[in-house]
A and B are shown apart, each in its own frame.
Chain A
Amino acid sequence: MTRNVLIFVLVIQLIPCCMRENDPVGPEGPGDSLSRGVFIVNEGNFTFENASLTYYDIESGEATQDVFFSANGLPLGDVAVSMTIRDSLGYVVLNNSGKIYVLHTGSFALKGKITGLTSPRHVHFISDTKAYVTDLYARSIAVVNPLTMEVTGNIDVSNNQDEFGQHSTEQMIAYGGYVYTNCWSYDNQVLVIDSGTDRVVDSIEVIKQPNSMVMDRNHSLWVLSDGGWMGSPYGYETPGLVRVDAASAEVETILRFAEGDRPTSLRINETSDTIYFINRHVYRMSVDPVGEPVIFISSPYEEGFWGGFYGLQVDPVTSEVYVTDAIDFSQPGVVYRVAPDGQPLDTIRAGIVPGALCFTP
């Protein structure tokens, strides 16, 4: 019997029994080098907590994956939707983690976090001590103090409607003492907030589901709406581009796309006279004077089949265009870098679902 017990013990000893989960690689960062870079914010999959940051050095063309995890031994979180840089700090909004991570843009080291946010989307700085954080579900915009990294107040945006139009605030653009924010999800409003009193003072009705906006050099606000989806209980509208005079908050022009199109990611170039957006392909259009949209980058995918291009950004210094492709949303995506004249410059491997891009100054 002793022999059998021994064999049993031996068998158990032979089989591997210890799990080893992965450790971080170790910190590495651009440090204080003078070359400019861009953070590719890889959104990751909802609830998978696999968001990450890719850092791309614009001059050397070198991409470093997962810089936040490498530097801090900490996963970025769940659904990274946007990033904003102020001075040497980057504010990465983690939507389904309910927080914002603040990191040093040179070392990628975590410098703090702003927590207690319901479903945060974008950060906009009013001053060194005040910033707004828009939110998908909170029915308010959080007012935070970036120095203390605390929520100091809320701007109530709720209305008394039961179903739709609950003002899910998204991007923010400042003009004068006001901040304009588009309400994308099941909504058709751009809200105007007095950044002195932190109150909603006006609203502008636009086409259904305004997903992005830019301001041109004449202080006209261009708002891009996808119109919702056909069959939506909220209703569907032909998507379009609306020009609003920022000073008077009056709608000036409405340009319509074809029914069934789904334009997203409205961006503007360095001189604020040419806009770019995704509508399967990447389009470019002059806004001063107003021209016709023309295809700038063709989608490599079959017509109407794939999401294809997912995120878009224009380098505020060089006006080079970066467009992301999430491929099947389940593997590291790629980012195409294209010169203002349409010449392809580079193809960058990124993380899972690359979406937002944030340029260092």
Chain B
Amino acid sequence: MAAFQLSAQGIRDSIFHINGVEVTAIPLFEKEYAGMKMTRVDTAYLEGKATLSLSDLLSEHTSVFIKNYGRGALATASFRGSAPSHTQVLWNGIQLNSPMAGMVDFSLIPVYLIDQLTLFHGPSSLDNGGGGIGGAIHIQNAAHWEGPPSVRYIQGIGSYSTFDEFLQLGVGSGKWRVQTRLYHNYSKNDFTYVNTGIGNLDPVTGKISHPLEINENAAYRRYGVLQEIYYRPRANQVFSFKYWGQFADRSIPRPTSYEGPDHSNLNNQQDMDHRVVADWHHYGESGKWMARTGYARKNLDYNQQNLVPGLGLIPVVASRSIQQALYHTLAYTYNPASGFSVKGKMDVTLHDVSSQDSVSLTGYDQHRYEVAMLLSARKNLADRVNLNVMLRQDWIDGQRAPFSPYLGFDIKLIDGKELLLKGNLARNYHHPSLNDLYWQPGGNPGLVPEQGFTMETGLEYRVVLAGQLIRTEMTAYRSDIRHWIIWIPGFRGYWEPRNIERVRSTGLEYALHIQGHIGGFGYKLMGTYAYTRSVNYGDPLVWGDHSYGKQLVYIPLHSGNLMVRVSFREWYVTYQYNAYSERYTTTSNDLSGRYRLSPYFMNNLTAGWSIHLKRVDVNTELRVYNLFNESYHSILHRPMPGRNYSLVLMIKI
């Protein structure tokens, strides 16, 4: 059954033998993915990281840079040096990007909900949607057809009153599978830190000291449910239905320099999400149908309140927004002969947004109607070359968006070896978000789409060498993005978005994966390195504008991570390292220490014990985050916790 599911997705596994241990992996040379740079995150790795947020996983494991506003707080992604709205995120085929702001808060996505995670770097995202100038991240859920009813429970207890509970149940027969996941995460998040934003003056010596403070107003709570129902009436047909509901409640800390009244400047954000998606797959002899329909609704409430004596807590911001979307997709893939396939796909999406602030009485009600057509052809030549052509055309509210073509290739350099030369040439675009167009005041309906022209090439290699599985990939890319949108105060006194910058993003991505056994020890090493030069080449505004030719803010030139895991019998130790070079917070790349974030080096260590008792797997882990108890910032003046611990118990029946 597993083989069916995999072949049904058009992917046939390769099997490797490493010192007698069988390892399955997806083949590299597939015409459907020719020229596409993808990172598939290992399923076992995902399971082990179930208690994390997707933001943590991406920064630990991939070349995506995560801008993190604090523990449990907003986390946005920069893929290949692009803006947060340039990363498209799909959950089982439906978009998670907010139509209002265009971006995704990755801290709100628990890894626990993810069965398959795939990153599509740069224009390879065009296969599943436009707008991913930086790339796309796909989150998939899958039926675990095999096996009897299953139960999985995870309990995490961590520093700062952090509690994570996850329960997963699965039942099914040969035709049905019903899977339910429930979860709850809470953290008081009250770590202590030296607050360098406040200076206390000693009245005698005149010396200034910084107080040791508790990270106040930073608690977060998140709970939700994921319900999946799969029905397979015949071997060549699958229906699925998935519902994901989540509520998140977060307080947002005040500036560290805040010394106003205790009950003022209180900020809170609540996100309530409901997402439903149903799809149907039919696998014919020479073709494959897929139909999908989905609905999403998000209620986002943001409040800022001050205590006014005699009047109580008075809101100064009381923003309520309701974002709804309907998604429909129909796709057909035709395989007239082996070595050739064509695919046609149509998406129709309707977004409806109502955003109102009951204090300023501002807001907007808007909807957007999107139609997208994709036509692709994939050809294998002589079992050595794969070609992939994709032509994408979107219409937004009836207006034709920029045409997005893609041409990609894979060349098997040595017959019989998994050594590929890959490359692609593509154009992509990103439409302004509804806030960009309609925010009050400032929204600019005259904005044009951001357009990216990208080329990339790389080498990918996989080999079993001396009993070790080695996979490595290096990619170089260049992306020119015109009409890049930035918000800036306009002549009328409020912030307005403008298509002003031209950004050229050039970079290098390297990934290495080695696993094997030495004696009784098993080991795994995974690392990525990215060189990202994302530079503004927009017209300088005045002579004093020093932003021309400078790296975009908060994008590190060098970033990398490394994970080493060593296991012996039922014991294992995992060391996780993550580093970024300095990041600028000014568009002029001001070097003064106050406007620059120092290089970031983070070390985490996990020790675990895993046993198999009859039908029960028990796994206990102790995790140490920020091993060297470093004091650091990820965003200017946003405190981050020192060394902290988490104890995780996982039970699987």
Interface residues of A (CB under 8 A from B): 1, 4, 8, 11-12, 15-23, 47-50, 52, 65-66, 69, 72-78, 94, 96-99, 109-113, 115-119, 137-140, 154, 158, 163, 186, 226, 229, 231-234, 260, 262, 264, 280, 300-301, 304-308, 325-334, 347, 349, 352
Contact = CB atoms under 8 A, between A and B. Distances in A.
B549 to A, nearest CB: 13
B301 to A, nearest CB: 19
A15 B360 contact: no
Interface stretch (B83-91, B111-119, B336-344, B490-498): B490-498
Nearest to A347: B544
B12 interface: no
Given A17-B628, A301-B541, A97 B566 contact: no
Contact of B490 (A110, A307, A330): A307
A118 B544 contact: no
A257 to B, nearest CB: 13
18 contacts: A1-B519, A15-B577, A18-B630, A49-B197, A50-B594, A75-B594, A116-B261, A118-B306, A119-B265, A138-B308, A300-B543, A305-B491, A306-B491, A307-B493, A328-B547, A330-B553, A330-B585, A332-B546
Nearest to A23: B593
Nearest to B543: A300
Contacts of A116: 259-261
A19 B441 contact: no
Contacts of A98: 258-261, 264-265
Given A72-B199, A78-B255, A325-B544, 12 more contacts: A15-B562, A18-B628, A74-B199, A99-B260, A110-B208, A116-B259, A137-B306, A158-B308, A229-B441, A301-B541, A327-B542, A334-B544
B233 interface: no
A52 to B, nearest CB: 7
Nearest to A305: B491
A119 B199 CA distance: 19
A280 B492 CA distance: 9
A96 B488 contact: no
B313 to A, nearest CB: 11
B147 to A, nearest CB: 36
Given A69-B594, A186-B360, A17 B255 contact: no
B361 A332 contact: no
Given A111-B201, A305-B491, A325-B544, A119 B594 contact: no
Interface in B510-546: 518-519, 521, 523, 541-546
B361 A66 contact: no
A18 B601 contact: yes
Where chain A touches its partner, the secondary structure class is loop
A259 B362 CA distance: 21
Contact of A52 (B594, B630, B633): B594
B596 interface: yes
A347 B605 CA distance: 53
A195 B519 CA distance: 86
Given A72-B208, A163-B361, A328 B488 contact: yes
B595 A50 contact: yes
Interface of B: 196-199, 201, 206, 208, 210, 255-261, 264-265, 306, 308-311, 314, 316, 359-362, 440-441, 486, 488-494, 498, 518-519, 521, 523, 541-547, 553, 562, 564, 566, 575, 577, 579, 585-588, 590, 592-596, 598-601, 603, 628, 630-633, 636-637
A194 B139 CA distance: 65
Contacts of B314: 137, 139
Given A110-B201, A226-B493, A352-B595, A139 B311 contact: yes
B518 A75 contact: no
A19 B632 contact: yes
Contact of A229 (B201, B493, B637): B493
Contacts of B545: 327-328, 331
A317 B46 CA distance: 68
B221 to A, nearest CB: 23
B588 A332 contact: yes
B199 A49 contact: no
B601 A15 contact: yes
A307 B489 contact: yes
A328 B587 contact: yes
Contact of B542 (A72, A77, A154, A300): A300
B259 A326 contact: no
A77 B260 contact: no
A299 to B, nearest CB: 9
Contacts of A15: 562, 577, 579, 601
B491 A22 contact: no
A233 B631 CA distance: 46
A66 B592 contact: yes
Rank and list the top 4 A-B pairs by shortest CB-CB distance, nearest first: A98-B260, A22-B593, A233-B361, A331-B588
Contacts of A111: 201
Contact of B197 (A8, A77, A300): A77
Contacts of A119: 260, 264-265, 306
B574 to A, nearest CB: 12
Given A304-B491, A327-B545, A112 B316 contact: no
A74 B348 CA distance: 54
A229 B566 CA distance: 63
A95 B598 CA distance: 27
A20 B553 contact: no
Contact of B258 (A97, A139, A264, A331): A97
A118 B260 contact: yes
A138 B577 contact: no
A28 to B, nearest CB: 14
A234 B359 CA distance: 11
Contact of A331 (B259, B543, B586, B600): B586
Contacts of A118: 260-261, 264-265, 306, 308
Given A4-B521, A16-B579, A233-B362, A77 B306 contact: no
A261 B57 CA distance: 50
B257 A49 contact: yes
Contacts of A47: 255
A111 B15 CA distance: 71
A50 B628 contact: no
B516 to A, nearest CB: 11
Contacts of B493: 226, 229, 262, 264, 307
B599 A16 contact: yes
Contacts of B562: 15
Contacts of B208: 72-74, 110
